[in-house]
């Protein structure tokens, strides 16, 4: 019975001991790696509009409607672009309402697990009304730009503006994110100051 043990295979494959070589008559493909670095970066852009409901007793924010537009230049893979933008949308909502990195006075992280660091779930992230604008970049041969940023970057400002608008009757001003319930209640009822 012919065979090779796993130990023999491991011994042969162990770099620095026996090594493996390609048979002399077997053609070997030539490999080449190259990089393209454009002279100037091409930036994507995005726009967001948010409608919220703010519970003035608990400080909880509910996003009722989200409209999101972005321009990533030439769209090479529509499914990939949509996934990037939707993921960015969820990340932006997390930045706006939930995610807060806290540190002690001596710089030690206090938010070290998901018990301390809140993230939005699918329940808190509505599916946005999404539209694409395609304006190819003149700065690279494919006309492409980034695709995830258009979903992430505008969301915190949109949410903060929507919350401030909802709290206008209270004279609340929003100046800091994430908009945790404590910050929202402080802005509404003026715990120490009228800004969140």
149, 164, 176, 195: which is the annotated catalytic residue?
149
Estimate the share of the chain in helix, then strand, then coil, as percent rounded to the nearest 5. 30, 15, 55
**For range 150-176, the mean pLDDT:** 94
Assign domain 43-54+64-166 one CATH number from 3.40.50.2000, 3.30.365.10, 3.50.50.60, 3.40.50.1220.
3.30.365.10
% pLDDT > 90, the chain: 68
In the Cβ-directed half-sphere of 66, how many Cα atoms lie within 13 Å?
25
82-93 pLDDT, tens digit per residue, is 999 999 999 999
Is 57 assigned a catalytic role? no
């Amino acid at each position: 019975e012919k065979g090779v043990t796993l130990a023999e295979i491991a011994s042969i494959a162990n770099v620095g001991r026996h090594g493996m070589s390609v048979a002399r008559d077997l053609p070997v493909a030539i490999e080449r790696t190259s990089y393209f670095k454009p002279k100037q970066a091409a930036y994507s852009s995005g726009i967001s509009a948010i409608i919220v409901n703010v519970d003035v007793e608990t400080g909880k924010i509910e996003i009722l409607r989200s409209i999101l537009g972005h321009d990533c230049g030439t769209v090479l893979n529509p499914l990939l672009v949509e996934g990037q933008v939707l993921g960015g949308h969820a990340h932006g909502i997390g930045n706006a309402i939930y995610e807060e990195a806290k540190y002690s006075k001596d710089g030690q992280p206090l938010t070290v697990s998901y018990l301390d660091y809140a993230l939005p779930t699918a329940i808190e992230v509505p599916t946005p009304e999404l539209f694409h604008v395609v304006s190819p970049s003149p700065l690279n041969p494919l006309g492409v730009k980034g695709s995830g940023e258009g979903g992430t970057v505008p969301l915190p400002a949109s949410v903060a503006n929507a919350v401030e608008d909802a709290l206008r009757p209270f004279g609340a001003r929003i100046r800091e994110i994430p908009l945790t319930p404590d910050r929202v209640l402080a802005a509404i009822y003026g715990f120490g100051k009228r800004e969140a």
